[in-house]
Structure 1
Amino acid sequence: MDRKKKGVALSIALILLTKKRQSRKKRLIKDWMRKKAELNHFNLINELRVTEENDFKNYMRMRDSSFQKLLSLVSPYLKKKDTHMRKSLTPEEKLAVTLRFLATGRSFEDLKYSTLLSPRAISGAVLDTCNTLIYVLQDYLKTPSTQQEWREVADDFGRIHRFPTCLGSLDGKHVGIIMPKNAGSRYFNYKGFHSIILLALVNARKEFMMVDVGINGRISDGGVLFYSKFWQSYEQGLLNLPNPINLSNMTHLFPYVFVADEAFALGPNLMKPYSQKNCSSNELIFNQK
């Protein structure tokens, strides 16, 4: 009996010790989570907003004034009612985590550590917010559709950059992606990684007027332009570009043009730099302008 009692007592002691260790471990995790919550993604944003304006811009890729403007636009569509089971994310939290995802390309699994949100919650917030951004910003990203609107763009280039016949600056950007399954080299670009390409047209104030994204990274910038809906509209004469004009002290007409780098093909309304090989001084000045 004594041996049995000792065995039972030892078993109970081991169980209690195990529970104590589990309880301590659980408590330590909760303490860690509590401390993490004090300095999580959202609290950091609020701190940067108050004390470090430049760091806020670096972290969110925009100034607080722009963030607040966006927030005012999306808030009416992102507000959700709390339930008995959980508290809904605020519009500010949804916008912040979405901008962070878009700026960094980090996975939802990675973002959960800084936001303290589950990957599922982040996924829902990003999808909801992106759809809302597309809806509320559709009037902000508008390609000129009349000759007068194009002339206003050119007038800005004339005042700001002394280029009175410029209708916009074109360029492409490779956006790195994880290679899709069975894609082979379809998305593999000349820079050595897999990507899709963003083609953009900006005005004299560096504001976007057109964006085309999704072409596989293997295609050159010039090829991306050729396949874009924007250029198809141009070739069909649907952009309503203004007619060539006379410039002061000039006897012949000058066409309105888009400017791009050497990756694009020269055309009647597309200008690019002179080749760097055997470049004259005047041509070099032109390139620098």
Structure 2
Amino acid sequence: MLWRLSSTSRLFPTTENEWRNIADDFEKRCNCPNCLGAVDGKHVNIKPPTGSGSYFYNYKGAYSLVLLAVVNANYEFIMCDFGINSRISDGGVIEYSQFYRKLKDRKLSIPPPTRTMNSKEALPFVFISDEAFALRCDFLKPFSQRDWDHDKKIFNYRLSRARM
């Protein structure tokens, strides 16, 4: 479900140019080139429906539904999906969203890889996330701390800065 959040908010991007504008904002604000959005999930506590058993019971010991969102570099929501039961992890929740199906089927009008000012090769456009999400060619997540060297530490810092 792709929502308009207010009369002043933009709809979910539908053209390559709208995606490029989002990526330009991430590069200017966070030094994170070709970034299309930061993705994360949030457990929203609920009172479970009678007879639902453990269907809404999560690993945190509460009953909840998951809000999945994508935000741009200006802290604006560009996609919200709410209502997946919380027994599924953030990384698993995304697979039940319309956003993920369109991403996987290449129906989001994402621009082809392009060269940025500091790159020798064309870089793909990507979404950024935390460790809970699967690594894909269109999703970046931080390196594990046990694998850090200087370059990976800088990468994780920039990725974290863009996600925040």
**Above 0.5 in TM-score?**
yes
Give the Cα separation in 1 of the matches to 2:97 and 2:59: 20
1:279 paired with 2:148, answer yes
Aligned AA (1:203): N
Give the Cα separation in 2 of the matches to 1:270 and 1:135: 24
Q: Give 2:119's aligned residue.
A: 250
Give the Å deviation of 1:155.
0.5
Give the Cα separation in 2 of the matches to 1:197 and 1:141: 23
Within a 5 Å distance, the mapping from 1:27-176 to structure 2 comes to 137=6, 140-176=9-45
Aligned AA (1:163): C
Q: Give 1:233's aligned residue.
A: 102
Aligned AA (2:97): S
Change (3 A) 1:248 1:136: closer
Q: Give 2:93's aligned residue.
A: 224
Q: Give 1:199's aligned residue.
A: 68
Give the Å deviation of 1:136.
8.3
Contact 2:5/2:77 (<8 A) preserved: no
How many residues end up aligned between the 2 structures?
Answer: 156
Unaligned runs of 5+ in 2: 159-164
Is the partner of 2:101 in helix, strand or coil? helix
Under a length normalisation based on structure 2, what TM-score does the superposition of the two structures give? 0.89
Is the partner of 2:147 in helix, strand or coil? coil
Give the Å deviation of 1:250.
3.0
2:57 to 188, 192, 197: 188
Is the partner of 2:93 in helix, strand or coil? helix
Relative contact order (C-alpha < 8 Å, sep 6+): which is higher?
A: 2
**What are the superposed Cα offsets for residues 114-170 of structure 1, whole Å, 9 maximum, x if unpaired?**
xxxxxxxxxxxxxxxxxxxx8883672511000000000001011111112100000
Give the Å deviation of 1:248.
2.6
Contact 2:55/2:85 (<8 A) preserved: yes
Rg (Cα) greater in structure: 1
Give the Cα separation in 2 of the matches to 1:152 and 1:164: 11
Unaligned runs of 5+ in 1: 1-133
Percent of residue pairs identical: 45
1:177 paired with 2:70, answer no
Give the root-mean-square deviation of aligned CA atoms.
Answer: 1.8
**What are the superposed Cα offsets for residues 161-206 of structure 1, whole Å, 9 maximum, x if unpaired?**
1112100000000000012111111111111101000000000011
Give the Cα separation in 1 of the matches to 2:4 and 2:126: 31
Give the Å deviation of 1:284.
1.8
Give the Å deviation of 1:288.
1.5
Aligned AA (1:173): K
1:259 to 94, 114, 128: 128
